[in-house]
Structure 1
Amino acid sequence: MDHGSMSGMDMGSSASSASSSSGASSAMGMTMAFTNAHSTHLFSAAWTPSSSGTYAATCIFLIVLAIIDRCLVAFKATMERHWLVTHLNRRYIAIAGKTTEAGRIDGDPDAKAASLITAQGVEENVKLVHNIAHGPIPWRFSVDLPRAILFLFIVGVSYLLMLAVMTMNVGYFCSVLTGAFIGDLAVGRYIQWNEHNH
């Protein structure tokens, strides 16, 4: 090969590598834009609407999924309130030197033989405490396991909704927003009520 053909090959190969690198950089720097294509995949290639009807059904599914997400958040907030109230009602402290009502009856010479039944069944030398210092509730398997499972469902549904929005499909995006609006309209008061009462 002569020098002219070698330089021609070098220029051709450098031109092709430059065009491939510019193509790669344009693909990497591609801007995301919303689309309204009815054939946008949802979660997998198997879930691809093939008609306007299946696209509408997919959008309805996303609305329902977003409503379920808000309902799960409201349910968790309600359960947190329930677990807190249960914990507060479980707090007892011993009262040193306090005589029980049964002890006073036994010590009274004028009292007749009788039995005393309290709301708890047996009177104890304790006092119910409703206010405790601020801080986390102690770890309990019967509370923390259901809390973690509920949180797992909330995170799972939230990430599915995020993936639907990331398809950049206008219909999917609007469906998620619509479901979030309807869900919060229906159960948002439970979320806010529990947040303000903690």
Structure 2
Amino acid sequence: VSNNLRQEVVTFGCRLNIYESEIIRKNLELSGIDNVAIFNTCAVTKAAEKQARQAICKAKKNNPDLKIIVTGCSAQTSPQMYGNMPEVDKVIGNEEKLLPNYYQITDEKITVNDIMSVKETASHLVSSFDGKSRAFIQVQNGCDHFCTFCIIPYGRGKSRSVAIGAIAEQVKHLVLNGFKEVVFTGVDVTAYGSDLPGSPTFA
């Protein structure tokens, strides 16, 4: 994180987070909030969570006036862990991070909803990917397997798919913006379409 910044998004973890960080970046620009960093975290391993906490502490040490918002899967599954950090100003969940009205710093430090209640995957048009030559498109989110060893469903919720029409619109938008390679991404892409009318697949 730069010492002299206006806005920054710091991403940990998967391709889905990379895609969502571009939505956050666009929303942050529209919000008009200055001197803020949003940390989009990962919860797959304890090492990933430790890395995020260390980065947060370092950023605040380098810039004591920096406003820090924490989101992502680790914030969704362990909101109080970040809420207890004096360096953190706001903790928002995986649904809230895509909605810019939640970026405002208020007396309510933690805003994390029940991710299992989320039934839809909102479609967002993304035009660019910071410093990357390939683009990512979210086609699916969540997982219904609930494996004993895996925390992902608790961070991402149940499986839900993006409609084919919305995916096609995003691909066209990215091609028009100069991307030659587009990667479909999700938590469990093999589950794509099972929740949509007609159960479409990519096969």
* Larger fraction in helix: 1
Indicate the TM-score class for this superposition, using the shorter chain for normalisation.
under 0.3
Using structure 1 for the length normalisation, give the TM-score: 0.20
Name which one, 1 or 2, has greater alpha-carbon Rg.
1
